[in-house]
């Protein structure tokens, strides 16, 4: 009887998840003593800045793309969205160089680095399509400038930066899904692997 249950897909999936990411790893209450530096805060700052950007973006989405031109509250939410993005990128770039300085890809953490770097790219595309979705002079200018770069790669055949509807869809549907999925994967990988230990140049002399 128990063997039948053990062979169930559901049971096997649960055991797998329990094995790779038990609750003590997902939400640990201790960390190795070397996790004591301001640099560790920047990953978390990036994460919460992203939450802020999504929150203000949701409010802008509720009222539609033109609302912020005519509403004082809307304009303020737009300001928060913009400054959230600036804080997000600042934190992310400090985080990136911090992780570089720590060679944080060591010990089987290459995929953590790669998902991080790809998230950086996805964030750039998200911000770019956001600038195109402003429905003001800035988006007119940025789109007509950017078209040449994208057209030169052939991408302009499918990704038309002058098509507002298409860019808005990328900005508020496709890119947020991609970015959130990437970040979730990134953070779960960090939890699975634990925080990378300091560099040991000579393992014989060791810790």
Partner 1 sequence: MSKRYNPDVDVPEYTGRYAPYDIIKEGTIALVVVLILVLGLSITFGSPDDKAITLQTWSKADPVDFATTAFSELDGSSAVAGYGAPYNTNGTSQHWGFIAPAKWLGVHIPINTATDFVVSPLESQPANPALSSALAQWKGATSATQSAWLTAYSNVSGKMSFSGDRVVVPSAKDGPVPVMITSLTQMARSGALDQALETSKGFYTTDFTKPLLFLSDGTYFASLAQKGHLLGTQWGMMNETDSYPGQAWLWLYTFWYQVSPFNTSASADFLVWGLMMILTAVLVLVPFIPGLRSIPRRIKLYRLIWREHYQDL
CB 20 within 8 A of CB 192: yes
Q: Which helix (H) or strand (E) holds 178?
A: helix 175-193
**Partner that binds at residue 119, options ligand HEM, partner 1, none, CB closer than 5 to 8 Å by kind:** ligand HEM
What does 130-169 look like in DSSP terms, one character per residue?
HHHTS-SHHHHHHHHHHHHHHHHTTGGGT--TT-HHHHHH
Rg for the chain, CA atoms, rounded:
21
The answer to whether 134 contacts partner 1 (rule: CB under 8 A) is yes
Residues 117-136 that bind ligand HEM (CB under 6 A): 117, 119-120, 123
Site string for ligand HEM, 2-41 (x = CB under 6 A): --------------------------------------x-
CB 123 within 8 A of CB 92: yes
Residues 64-123 that bind partner 1 (CB under 8 A): 68-69, 75-76, 78-80, 82-84, 86-87, 89, 93, 98, 100-103, 105-107, 109-110, 113-114, 117-118, 120-121
Neighbours of 183 (CB within 10 A): 18
Query: What is the rounded distance in angstroms from the CA atom of residue 4 to the CA atom of residue 184?
Result: 33
Shortest separation between residue 33's beta carbon and ligand HEM, angstroms:
14
- For tokens 């033109």, name the residue: 66
Q: Which residues bind ligand HEM (CB under 6 A)?
A: 40, 42-44, 46-47, 50, 92, 95-96, 99, 104-105, 109, 112-113, 116-117, 119-120, 123, 183, 186-187, 190, 195-196
């Amino acid at each position: 009887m128990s063997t039948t249950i053990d062979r169930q897909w559901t049971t096997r999936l649960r055991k797998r998840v329990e094995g790779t990411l038990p609750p003590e790893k997902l939400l640990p209450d201790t960390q190795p003593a070397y996790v004591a530096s301001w640099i560790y805060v920047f990953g978390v700052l990036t994460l919460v800045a992203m939450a802020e950007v999504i929150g203000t973006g949701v409010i802008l989405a509720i009222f539609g793309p033109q609302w912020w031109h005519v509403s004082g509250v809307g304009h303020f939410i737009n300001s928060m969205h913009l400054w959230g993005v600036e804080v997000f990128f600042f934190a992310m770039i400090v985080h990136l160089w911090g992780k570089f300085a720590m060679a944080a890809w060591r010990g089987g953490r290459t995929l953590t680095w790669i998902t991080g770097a790809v998230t950086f790219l996805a964030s750039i595309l998200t911000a770019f399509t956001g600038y195109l979705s402003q429905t003001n002079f800035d988006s007119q200018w940025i789109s007509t400038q950017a078209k040449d770069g994208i057209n030169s790669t052939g991408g302009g055949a499918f990704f038309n930066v002058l098509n507002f509807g298409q860019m808005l869809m990328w900005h508020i549907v496709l890119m947020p899904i991609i970015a959130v999925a990437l970040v979730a994967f990134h953070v779960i990988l960090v939890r699975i692997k634990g925080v990378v230990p300091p560099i040991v140049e000579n393992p014989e002399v060791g810790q």
